[in-house]
Amino acid sequence: MAIRIVTTVCGLYAVLILSGCSIAMALHGEKEPDFEHIKVGATKEEIDFEFNQPGTAKDLGDGKTEVTYKYEMGNSPNPGRAGVNGYVDLYTLGLAEPILTVIELLQGDDVETGIVYGPDKSVLDIHGYTPAPPSPELKASQEEQEKYVRKRPTPKTDTSTGKAEPSQPQSTPAP
């Protein structure tokens, strides 16, 4: 009888450890909309692309339409969080898995944003959730990081023929 109990407990323990629920949950989720592209004057197609869905429309008259977009913030796929969850699982021999799974279940908030479109399908007004503007420190750090991002070379155009010439890599003289 004792062997049966130990076997059952070990089996349940193995199921919890091998499932890796917190790791899988951290790797899955919905991409958050990029509010840099959601602004007055943008087209409905651009907005639908950012929210990954068409939204719920309501006619306001005079050719205006209000569309409500429901989405989740704070639960986008995160390989870093999944890696930390995996490391903690290994370090604790799987004992932390139930706790990490509950933490992953609580990730994210359901929010909605309402957007009013004009007759030409361009944005007239945005209400509901919008993120705070970036701080000056954040802007400065992003500008500093941009200095180190490798940019795709752009082809140079020959003005006489109008054809693109392959860009040559710039070589620096040897000291």
Q: Are 85 and 100 in contact (CB under 8 A)?
A: yes
pTM over 0.85: no
For residue 14, report the phi and psi dihedrals to the nearest 5 degrees: -65, -40
Calculate the average pLDDT of the chain.
82
Neighbours of 164 (CB within 10 A): 11
Model confidence band, residue 4 (pLDDT cutoffs 50, 70, 90): confident
The tens digit of pLDDT for each residue in 66-76 reads 999 998 888 88
Domain boundaries, the chain: 2-131
DSSP letter for each residue of 29-90:
-PPPP-TTS--TT-BHHHHHHHHTS--EEEEEETTEEEEEEEEEES----HHHHHHHHHHHH
The tens digit of pLDDT for each residue in 15-51 reads 666 566 888 888 888 888 888 888 889 888 888 888 8
Distance CA 171, CA 175 (A): 12
